[in-house]
Amino acid sequence: MNSTTVTTLDDDEVEKPAPVRTGAHLYATDIKVSGQPLDPGHVGRIIKPRELVDIIELTPLNRSETILYNQLLAHAWNNIRTTPVHKVLKASLRGSHESNDRLHDAFDKLMGAWAKIRARDQQTGAMATFRVHLLGSNKEEDQDDGYFYYTFPPDLLAVIAQSKAWATIKSHIMYALRSKYSIRLYEMVERRIGLNKQHEEFTIDEFRSMLGVQEGKLDRYADFNKYCLKPALGEVNHLTDFVVQIAAVKRGRAVEKLHMAWFKKSPADLRQAHDEREKSRIGRAARWTGRVEVISFDEEPV
Protein backbone atom coordinates (compact mmCIF):
# COMPACT_ATOMS: atom_id res chain seq x y z
CA MET A 1 0.00 0.00 0.00
CA ASN A 2 1.30 3.45 -0.87
CA SER A 3 0.45 5.27 2.30
CA THR A 4 1.66 7.99 4.57
CA THR A 5 4.51 6.84 6.79
CA VAL A 6 3.26 6.49 10.34
CA THR A 7 4.71 5.53 13.69
CA THR A 8 3.90 2.06 14.97
CA LEU A 9 1.69 2.05 18.05
CA ASP A 10 1.54 -1.22 19.97
CA ASP A 11 -1.65 -2.44 21.65
CA ASP A 12 -0.43 -1.77 25.17
CA GLU A 13 1.71 1.26 24.38
CA VAL A 14 0.87 4.38 26.33
CA GLU A 15 0.40 7.36 24.05
CA LYS A 16 2.71 10.24 24.91
CA PRO A 17 1.40 13.80 24.91
CA ALA A 18 2.08 15.61 21.66
CA PRO A 19 4.57 18.47 21.80
CA VAL A 20 3.03 21.91 22.08
CA ARG A 21 4.00 24.61 19.60
CA THR A 22 6.22 27.25 21.12
CA GLY A 23 4.28 30.46 21.61
CA ALA A 24 1.18 29.13 19.88
CA HIS A 25 -1.82 26.89 20.42
CA LEU A 26 -1.69 23.26 19.44
CA TYR A 27 -3.72 22.51 16.32
CA ALA A 28 -5.34 19.22 15.38
CA THR A 29 -3.04 18.97 12.37
CA ASP A 30 -0.03 19.02 14.73
CA ILE A 31 -1.10 15.58 15.98
CA LYS A 32 -0.09 12.75 13.70
CA VAL A 33 -1.89 9.62 12.64
CA SER A 34 0.07 6.55 13.73
CA GLY A 35 0.01 2.78 13.41
CA GLN A 36 -1.92 1.13 10.59
CA PRO A 37 -5.40 2.67 10.77
CA LEU A 38 -6.52 1.31 7.37
CA ASP A 39 -5.98 -2.31 8.43
CA PRO A 40 -8.65 -3.81 10.73
CA GLY A 41 -6.14 -6.42 11.86
CA HIS A 42 -3.70 -3.89 13.33
CA VAL A 43 -3.65 -1.02 15.78
CA GLY A 44 -3.84 2.55 14.57
CA ARG A 45 -4.67 6.05 15.71
CA ILE A 46 -6.88 8.39 13.68
CA ILE A 47 -7.09 12.11 14.38
CA LYS A 48 -10.50 13.62 13.65
CA PRO A 49 -11.05 17.35 14.27
CA ARG A 50 -13.87 18.45 16.52
CA GLU A 51 -15.71 20.06 13.61
CA LEU A 52 -16.09 16.65 11.93
CA VAL A 53 -17.17 14.93 15.16
CA ASP A 54 -19.74 17.40 16.51
CA ILE A 55 -21.33 17.63 13.10
CA ILE A 56 -24.81 18.24 11.75
CA GLU A 57 -24.73 15.67 8.98
CA LEU A 58 -27.40 16.30 6.38
CA THR A 59 -26.40 13.33 4.22
CA PRO A 60 -26.61 10.32 6.56
CA LEU A 61 -23.80 7.82 6.14
CA ASN A 62 -24.05 4.13 7.04
CA ARG A 63 -21.40 2.24 9.00
CA SER A 64 -19.27 1.32 5.97
CA GLU A 65 -19.35 4.87 4.62
CA THR A 66 -18.49 6.32 8.03
CA ILE A 67 -15.49 4.01 8.32
CA LEU A 68 -14.40 4.71 4.74
CA TYR A 69 -14.44 8.46 5.36
CA ASN A 70 -12.35 7.99 8.51
CA GLN A 71 -9.92 5.87 6.49
CA LEU A 72 -9.57 8.53 3.79
CA LEU A 73 -9.11 11.22 6.42
CA ALA A 74 -6.50 9.16 8.26
CA HIS A 75 -4.57 8.30 5.09
CA ALA A 76 -4.34 11.98 4.13
CA TRP A 77 -4.01 13.48 7.58
CA ASN A 78 -0.26 13.78 8.13
CA ASN A 79 0.04 15.76 4.87
CA ILE A 80 -3.47 17.21 4.65
CA ARG A 81 -2.28 20.84 4.75
CA THR A 82 0.48 20.42 2.16
CA THR A 83 -0.67 17.76 -0.31
CA PRO A 84 -3.61 18.75 -2.55
CA VAL A 85 -4.31 15.29 -4.01
CA HIS A 86 -4.03 12.07 -2.03
CA LYS A 87 -3.90 8.56 -3.44
CA VAL A 88 -4.58 5.21 -1.82
CA LEU A 89 -4.82 1.67 -3.12
CA LYS A 90 -8.45 0.62 -3.27
CA ALA A 91 -7.51 -2.80 -1.90
CA SER A 92 -6.33 -1.16 1.33
CA LEU A 93 -9.83 0.25 1.92
CA ARG A 94 -11.75 -2.99 1.42
CA GLY A 95 -11.21 -4.55 4.82
CA SER A 96 -12.39 -8.16 4.69
CA HIS A 97 -14.34 -7.66 1.44
CA GLU A 98 -13.08 -9.53 -1.62
CA SER A 99 -14.22 -7.02 -4.23
CA ASN A 100 -14.51 -3.27 -4.73
CA ASP A 101 -18.30 -3.30 -5.17
CA ARG A 102 -18.89 -1.75 -1.75
CA LEU A 103 -16.33 0.94 -2.46
CA HIS A 104 -17.95 2.12 -5.71
CA ASP A 105 -21.24 2.93 -3.98
CA ALA A 106 -19.50 4.43 -0.95
CA PHE A 107 -17.36 6.74 -3.10
CA ASP A 108 -20.54 7.95 -4.83
CA LYS A 109 -22.23 8.56 -1.48
CA LEU A 110 -19.28 10.45 -0.02
CA MET A 111 -18.98 12.57 -3.15
CA GLY A 112 -22.50 13.86 -2.58
CA ALA A 113 -22.36 14.07 1.21
CA TRP A 114 -22.48 17.45 2.88
CA ALA A 115 -22.84 18.73 6.40
CA LYS A 116 -23.24 21.77 8.59
CA ILE A 117 -20.14 22.53 10.63
CA ARG A 118 -19.90 25.15 13.37
CA ALA A 119 -16.50 26.84 13.44
CA ARG A 120 -14.91 30.22 13.92
CA ASP A 121 -14.84 32.40 10.81
CA GLN A 122 -11.23 33.40 10.15
CA GLN A 123 -12.30 36.67 8.56
CA THR A 124 -14.64 37.93 11.30
CA GLY A 125 -13.51 35.94 14.34
CA ALA A 126 -17.13 35.06 15.10
CA MET A 127 -18.66 31.61 15.24
CA ALA A 128 -20.45 30.65 12.02
CA THR A 129 -22.20 27.71 10.39
CA PHE A 130 -20.42 26.39 7.31
CA ARG A 131 -22.17 24.16 4.77
CA VAL A 132 -19.49 21.98 3.23
CA HIS A 133 -19.10 18.84 1.18
CA LEU A 134 -17.18 16.10 2.96
CA LEU A 135 -15.16 15.01 -0.09
CA GLY A 136 -13.84 16.92 -3.06
CA SER A 137 -13.17 15.88 -6.65
CA ASN A 138 -11.72 12.41 -7.04
CA LYS A 139 -10.67 9.78 -9.56
CA GLU A 140 -10.86 5.98 -9.37
CA GLU A 141 -8.70 3.77 -11.56
CA ASP A 142 -10.74 1.06 -13.26
CA GLN A 143 -8.58 -1.92 -12.38
CA ASP A 144 -9.40 -3.73 -9.12
CA ASP A 145 -5.90 -3.20 -7.75
CA GLY A 146 -5.82 0.44 -8.83
CA TYR A 147 -5.63 3.68 -6.91
CA PHE A 148 -8.26 6.08 -5.65
CA TYR A 149 -7.20 9.73 -5.99
CA TYR A 150 -9.11 12.23 -3.85
CA THR A 151 -9.20 15.76 -2.51
CA PHE A 152 -10.96 17.66 0.26
CA PRO A 153 -12.95 20.84 -0.50
CA PRO A 154 -11.09 24.12 0.21
CA ASP A 155 -13.76 25.32 2.66
CA LEU A 156 -13.43 22.10 4.68
CA LEU A 157 -9.63 22.31 4.62
CA ALA A 158 -9.83 25.86 5.96
CA VAL A 159 -11.92 24.66 8.90
CA ILE A 160 -9.60 21.71 9.55
CA ALA A 161 -6.50 23.92 9.45
CA GLN A 162 -7.71 26.07 12.34
CA SER A 163 -9.18 23.29 14.51
CA LYS A 164 -7.81 23.20 18.06
CA ALA A 165 -9.78 20.21 19.36
CA TRP A 166 -9.97 16.64 18.12
CA ALA A 167 -10.88 13.03 18.80
CA THR A 168 -8.11 10.44 18.96
CA ILE A 169 -9.88 7.44 17.46
CA LYS A 170 -8.36 4.02 18.02
CA SER A 171 -8.97 2.31 14.71
CA HIS A 172 -9.08 -1.22 16.14
CA ILE A 173 -11.94 -0.11 18.40
CA MET A 174 -13.72 1.65 15.52
CA TYR A 175 -13.65 -1.53 13.41
CA ALA A 176 -15.00 -3.58 16.34
CA LEU A 177 -18.12 -1.40 16.62
CA ARG A 178 -20.90 -2.78 14.42
CA SER A 179 -23.24 0.22 14.25
CA LYS A 180 -22.76 3.69 12.80
CA TYR A 181 -24.47 5.04 15.93
CA SER A 182 -21.89 3.28 18.12
CA ILE A 183 -19.02 4.71 16.08
CA ARG A 184 -20.41 8.23 16.28
CA LEU A 185 -21.01 7.94 20.04
CA TYR A 186 -17.47 6.61 20.46
CA GLU A 187 -16.09 9.59 18.50
CA MET A 188 -18.12 12.02 20.63
CA VAL A 189 -16.59 10.68 23.83
CA GLU A 190 -13.05 10.43 22.45
CA ARG A 191 -13.35 14.10 21.56
CA ARG A 192 -14.27 14.93 25.18
CA ILE A 193 -12.41 12.37 27.28
CA GLY A 194 -9.37 14.59 27.89
CA LEU A 195 -11.32 17.72 28.82
CA ASN A 196 -11.63 19.09 32.35
CA LYS A 197 -15.20 17.89 32.60
CA GLN A 198 -16.97 14.56 32.67
CA HIS A 199 -20.48 15.41 31.53
CA GLU A 200 -22.41 17.49 29.02
CA GLU A 201 -26.04 18.10 28.11
CA PHE A 202 -27.53 18.05 24.62
CA THR A 203 -30.94 18.67 23.16
CA ILE A 204 -32.55 15.63 21.53
CA ASP A 205 -32.06 17.20 18.10
CA GLU A 206 -28.37 17.86 18.78
CA PHE A 207 -27.77 14.28 19.89
CA ARG A 208 -29.68 12.87 16.92
CA SER A 209 -27.59 14.97 14.54
CA MET A 210 -24.29 13.96 16.13
CA LEU A 211 -25.22 10.29 15.91
CA GLY A 212 -26.21 10.69 12.25
CA VAL A 213 -29.88 9.79 12.62
CA GLN A 214 -31.63 10.51 9.34
CA GLU A 215 -34.27 13.22 9.39
CA GLY A 216 -37.72 11.65 9.60
CA LYS A 217 -36.39 8.45 11.22
CA LEU A 218 -36.88 7.49 14.87
CA ASP A 219 -38.77 10.71 15.53
CA ARG A 220 -40.39 9.44 18.74
CA TYR A 221 -38.03 9.52 21.72
CA ALA A 222 -39.06 5.98 22.67
CA ASP A 223 -37.95 4.71 19.22
CA PHE A 224 -34.77 6.79 19.25
CA ASN A 225 -33.97 5.40 22.69
CA LYS A 226 -34.73 1.78 21.79
CA TYR A 227 -33.18 1.51 18.34
CA CYS A 228 -30.33 4.02 18.54
CA LEU A 229 -29.25 5.09 22.03
CA LYS A 230 -29.42 1.81 23.93
CA PRO A 231 -27.68 -0.36 21.31
CA ALA A 232 -24.95 2.26 20.80
CA LEU A 233 -24.45 2.66 24.52
CA GLY A 234 -24.22 -1.10 25.00
CA GLU A 235 -21.53 -1.50 22.36
CA VAL A 236 -19.49 1.50 23.48
CA ASN A 237 -19.51 0.44 27.13
CA HIS A 238 -18.62 -3.13 26.22
CA LEU A 239 -15.83 -2.55 23.69
CA THR A 240 -14.18 0.82 24.31
CA ASP A 241 -11.85 2.24 26.94
CA PHE A 242 -14.47 4.16 28.88
CA VAL A 243 -17.93 3.95 30.43
CA VAL A 244 -20.70 6.23 29.18
CA GLN A 245 -23.93 7.04 30.98
CA ILE A 246 -26.85 8.80 29.31
CA ALA A 247 -29.90 9.97 31.20
CA ALA A 248 -33.09 11.64 30.02
CA VAL A 249 -33.78 15.10 31.47
CA LYS A 250 -37.48 15.87 31.54
CA ARG A 251 -39.64 18.94 31.68
CA GLY A 252 -42.95 17.65 32.93
CA ARG A 253 -43.46 14.34 31.15
CA ALA A 254 -41.55 15.33 28.02
CA VAL A 255 -37.88 14.53 27.55
CA GLU A 256 -36.14 17.85 26.98
CA LYS A 257 -32.43 16.99 27.01
CA LEU A 258 -29.96 14.15 27.35
CA HIS A 259 -27.27 14.25 30.01
CA MET A 260 -24.12 12.35 28.99
CA ALA A 261 -21.33 11.46 31.42
CA TRP A 262 -18.13 9.56 30.67
CA PHE A 263 -15.46 7.90 32.78
CA LYS A 264 -12.22 6.09 32.02
CA LYS A 265 -12.31 2.37 32.78
CA SER A 266 -10.24 0.72 35.47
CA PRO A 267 -7.22 -1.38 34.35
CA ALA A 268 -9.23 -4.57 34.90
CA ASP A 269 -12.14 -3.28 32.81
CA LEU A 270 -9.75 -2.12 30.09
CA ARG A 271 -8.32 -5.62 29.87
CA GLN A 272 -11.82 -7.09 29.74
CA ALA A 273 -12.75 -4.76 26.84
CA HIS A 274 -9.53 -5.71 25.04
CA ASP A 275 -10.24 -9.41 25.50
CA GLU A 276 -13.79 -8.96 24.19
CA ARG A 277 -12.54 -7.24 21.05
CA GLU A 278 -10.30 -10.23 20.43
CA LYS A 279 -13.22 -12.68 20.63
CA SER A 280 -15.60 -13.61 17.85
CA ARG A 281 -18.53 -11.25 17.31
CA ILE A 282 -20.83 -14.27 17.61
CA GLY A 283 -22.54 -14.12 20.97
CA ARG A 284 -21.19 -10.67 21.78
CA ALA A 285 -24.61 -9.08 22.24
CA ALA A 286 -25.57 -11.80 24.67
CA ARG A 287 -22.39 -11.23 26.65
CA TRP A 288 -23.24 -7.62 27.34
CA THR A 289 -26.93 -8.30 28.11
CA GLY A 290 -27.75 -6.99 31.54
CA ARG A 291 -24.92 -4.48 31.53
CA VAL A 292 -26.51 -1.82 29.34
CA GLU A 293 -27.29 1.42 31.14
CA VAL A 294 -31.07 1.88 30.91
CA ILE A 295 -32.28 5.19 29.56
CA SER A 296 -35.84 5.69 30.64
CA PHE A 297 -38.32 8.53 30.72
CA ASP A 298 -38.11 8.59 34.49
CA GLU A 299 -34.35 8.53 34.77
CA GLU A 300 -32.59 11.61 36.10
CA PRO A 301 -28.91 12.46 35.54
CA VAL A 302 -26.57 11.49 38.35
> Quick one: what percent of the chain has pLDDT higher than 90?
71
pLDDT in tens, 216-274: 899 999 999 999 999 999 999 999 999 999 999 999 989 999 999 999 999 999 999 99
Closest CA to 173 of 145, 193, 199, 156: 193
User: Looking at the chain, which residues constitute the CATH 1.10.10.10 domain(s)?
Assistant: 197-288
pLDDT in tens, 83-103: 999 999 999 998 756 667 789
The pLDDT score that the predictor gives to residue 20 is 39
| Verdict on whether the full-model pTM lies above 0.75 | yes
pLDDT in tens, 132-171: 999 999 999 999 889 999 999 999 999 999 999 999 999 9
Could you tell me which residues come within 8 angstroms of residue 240 by beta carbon, excluding any fewer than 6 positions away? 173, 177, 186, 189, 273
The pLDDT score that the predictor gives to residue 288 is 61
pLDDT in tens, 37-93: 999 999 999 999 999 999 988 888 999 999 999 999 999 999 999 999 999 999 999
Determine contact, residues 177/241, Cβ cutoff 8 Å. no
The pLDDT score that the predictor gives to residue 96 is 58
Mean pLDDT, rounded, for 110-116: 93
What does R_g of the chain's alpha carbons equal in angstroms?
A: 19
Q: Which CATH number fits domain 197-288: 3.30.1540.20, 3.10.20.30, 1.20.1260.10, 1.10.10.10?
A: 1.10.10.10
**H helix runs in the chain, sequence order:** 50-53, 63-77, 101-112, 154-161, 171-176, 180-192, 204-211, 221-224, 230-239, 267-278, 284-288
